[in-house]
Structure 1
Amino acid sequence: MSNPKTALYPGTFDPITNGHFDIIERARNLFDEVVVAVAESKDKKPMFTLDERITMTQAAVDGIDSVRVVGFDNLTIELAHEHKAGVLIRGLRAVSDFEYELQLGYLNNSLDETIETVYLMPKLKHAFISSSIVRNLLKFNGKTEHLLPQAVQKIIVEKN
């Protein structure tokens, strides 16, 4: 049985951005526990390894009560069952996100009608931020400190 007070926020988080962090904070205000689930996502060919993405995500949420980070490589619905999460959190930045997220929400609902999907929008100042934009900047040593949580920026700088 799932617990609607536990929310699962799945994503690739390659890397986790201020937009993702904003969604985590908003979800934390709505639910008793937020499980941030970092997907393996081999099909997306991430810039950072799963372990690196987990480490960055843990660093970003360090000190936030009732938020924990896990890695996964199975179906999101299966992971929700494992963590007894009754809600999936998805972020929406723009209309361009909506169609994909709607299809994903319907798919997840077809797999388990008891788990709800809740869509949250980041604050407007974070709405343009995406991991792909950050990765492109990183490839060219562009400025990213205004796009990433400070702890994540530090990890990336130390890695390079």
Structure 2
Amino acid sequence: MPERVGVYPGTFDPVTNGHLDVIGRAARLLDRLVIGVAMNAGKGPLFPLPERVELVKAETDPIAARTGAVIEVVPFEGLLIAFARSVGARMIVRGLRAVSDFDYEFQMTGMNRRLDPDIETVFLMASETNQFISSRFVKEIAQLGGDIASFVPKLTLQRTLARVRAPAPG
């Protein structure tokens, strides 16, 4: 039986408990999960790409140890389908939080299917405790001085608070 390889793409700026929930469940379905950390400079990331890769790796190492799955964290830029092909993935894993995510994901899945009909997209619903968490809200709450401890893992919490509390350069 061929190795089951999947890609879970995102900007992970920052990685949240919702992301880790989906990663943990995807790791149980696959032999190898490649987490693609997208450059996506257009979104104005809080963390530079190398630090996002480092944080995702640190936060997912315990999941790999617990599940026995191989989890790789790789930066990428460009077309998701090209990235999936480059790592030998036959599956793209996407997390859904709410109905509002579905329209965008539905359109993206259709486009990806046209680009490569041999790569399937699989949706995993976030657990009920994580459905409302988004990186965008986590950043906004942190920047406004709110408590984000229940939304992100410990290392990410420390780094996010340090970043938003640091004085602006210049």
- What is the TM-score when the length of structure 2 is the normalising length? 0.88
In the alignment, is the contact (CA less than 8 A) between 1:4 and 1:86 conserved in 2? Answer: no
1:49 CA drift (Å): 1.2
| Deviation per residue, 1:74-133 (Å, 9 max, x gap) | 211111111000000001000000000000101111110000000001110000000011
- State the match for 2:67 in structure 1: none
Please tell me whether Structure 1 or Structure 2 has the larger radius of gyration of its CA atoms: 2
Q: How does 1:34-49 map to 2 (within 5 A)?
A: 34-49=33-48
- State the match for 1:122 in structure 2: 126
Where relative contact order (Cα < 8 A, 6+ residues apart) is larger, the structure is: 1
Q: Where has structure 1 moved over 6 Å in runs of 4 or more? A: none
1:158 CA drift (Å): 4.5
- State the match for 1:18 in structure 2: 17
Q: How does 1:7-86 map to 2 (within 5 A)?
A: 7-65=6-64, 66-86=70-90
Structure 2 regions of 5+ residues with no counterpart? 65-69, 166-170
Identity of aligned residues (%): 41
1:141 CA drift (Å): 2.2
Aligned residues: 158
Structure 1 regions of 5+ residues with no counterpart? none
Structure 1 counterpart of 2:153, one-letter code:
P
